Structure 1
């Protein structure tokens, strides 16, 4: 039960790390970089925008994006990786109007992978930082534990207990405690960061979206998507991550699409914010290596209809 609550708190943290930043720099002849969960990339955007077009996006339901009530969709799940992947691909077609490199952390890594699988011509390459292992996925639970997890999820989603739980989590003190768990260097957990994470979670509809997603135990796993990805993938992992153990993450380095698995020493779950001095050079180097698109792919032809 404690592990389940920690996973729920983690989802609140990683899916609410957004402010709408839009794109920062526009160099028409430079490569496009797209990051998910926008404001948690504030230490990266201004650096990378010196030589690239950089975009950040809040996924629907989180940050300051719209938050449709999941119950309006009846029995059909709306907040899924397929929904967010479609949003990411549409953003690239309608706004970026070019191929893009996806830079993803935690849950965002699943979104990036799903988007690259659904429309492989869009993603030129992908950097995954401490991708979520999805330890609460139904396939990763022992058969005897599955009924307990479903019951607890139904309790949160369908009773007043869920809103009470969310009210307990959606406080400055709780968010600060969560961040201090997942940042190895807790001096990076500033009041500014706490408020940037918390405020979108206090918007109308945020609780319903959060409770819907933490009851989402299906969908894809990283190990199911990575074999399907056609673009090059770089994985970097903070070795002090208490939520996504690096010992389990190392297995992802064995997939053919993964060109390297890099250990980030003394870094926790959110390397892009805790250690941008390590992440930004990795991004620059990766993009430089893969900047030229394959000759068989014409970005202009892909997006000319939009």
Structure 2
């Protein structure tokens, strides 16, 4: 009764792909899905672990009149196809974003990332700074965080064990996804049924669960003052004050380590400011980008 088989890409694409959707073939058997809309200076948005393009809907609505907004799905996420042997790796994903930008001929762009996507964004900045004109971190992974260990959602507790990961590869994870997402935000009302359905359904794409269950939990990473101190781009750090996965002190570490970085903290907000306070956080992004030369 609990088993949930894979959903075909054709089925998922018929439901979720639209005229804004595009696909590009990259090396290693990756067929990357992205949504591209608006005109102006480019900003590329990178979602977090288990998430997808839809995380940024609020930002797109607020920014697309002034910016070309591109949302990508990482391997193992959304509508991107990748071999099931792919592993969650921010450095490899940063190189993938670089290859994507080269493939579609992007000019210099700003990159924004949430959680795992934040780790990808700062790794991209370190590894390929010539691509970028600005960095935006939203509750980004990289430094270890102590908050996850205090009261993790049930899904994260199950992920600690190999038998748990084996079970999660075969069952309907929608109840666990609902529990996890609602525990990650300050106001659970923002986690709608439609959002939960999308998360659960695209995670059942062929190979996605193998990839997702290969990776580290949110909040782990290899950031350091020495590495981040090399970043010479304008940087904005956005953080939810009540983030239960990656605590505010991590955001403060990012802001302190990256020269000239600005930090904005959202009171009462958790791990997903782009979903919890989309208008306010997008306004802060627009104000920041207005000071950046394209």
- Short-chain TM bin: 0.7 to 0.9
Aligned length: 248
The CA deviation at 1:97 is 2.0
- The answer to whether the 8 A contact 2:255-2:261 is kept is yes
The CA deviation at 1:61 is 2.2
> Which one has the largest radius of gyration?
1
- The answer to whether the 8 A contact 1:58-1:65 is kept is yes
- The answer to whether the 8 A contact 1:128-1:234 is kept is yes
The CA deviation at 1:257 is 2.6
- The answer to whether the 8 A contact 2:255-2:263 is kept is yes
CA distance in 2, matches of 1:190, 1:270: 13
Out of 71, 76, 94, the position equivalent to 1:56 is: 71
- The answer to whether the 8 A contact 1:252-1:258 is kept is no
SS in structure 2 of the partner of residue 289 of structure 1: coil
Q: Which runs of 5+ in 1 are unaligned?
A: 1-17, 72-77, 142-151, 294-306
Out of 41, 53, 65, the position equivalent to 1:31 is: 41
- After TM superposition, the structure 1 = structure 2 runs for residues 138-287 of structure 1, keeping only pairs within 5 Å, are 156=162, 161-167=164-170, 170-214=172-216, 220-221=222-223, 223=225, 225-287=227-289
* Distance change (3 Å), C-alpha of 1:107 and 1:224: farther
The CA deviation at 1:123 is 1.2
Structure number with higher strand proportion:
2
The CA deviation at 1:110 is 0.8
Indicate whether 1:93 and 2:102 are aligned.
yes
* Distance change (3 Å), C-alpha of 1:134 and 1:62: farther
Indicate whether 1:106 and 2:108 are aligned.
no
The CA deviation at 1:95 is 1.9
- Encode CA deviations 1:216-268: one digit per residue, 9 max, x unaligned: 99863264542122211110111011111113431222124342111111111
- The answer to whether the 8 A contact 1:80-1:219 is kept is no
* Distance change (3 Å), C-alpha of 1:274 and 1:222: farther
CA distance in 2, matches of 1:80, 1:208: 14
Structure number with higher helix proportion:
1
CA distance in 2, matches of 1:251, 1:219: 13
CA distance in 2, matches of 1:222, 1:166: 33
CA distance in 1, matches of 2:169, 2:143: 20
CA distance in 1, matches of 2:214, 2:286: 36
CA distance in 2, matches of 1:66, 1:88: 15
* Distance change (3 Å), C-alpha of 1:183 and 1:216: closer
CA distance in 2, matches of 1:136, 1:256: 18
CA distance in 2, matches of 1:23, 1:222: 33
Alignment TM-score, normalising by the size of structure 2: 0.76
Q: Which runs of 5+ in 2 are unaligned?
A: 1-15, 18-32, 48-52, 150-158
Alignment TM-score, normalising by the size of structure 1: 0.73
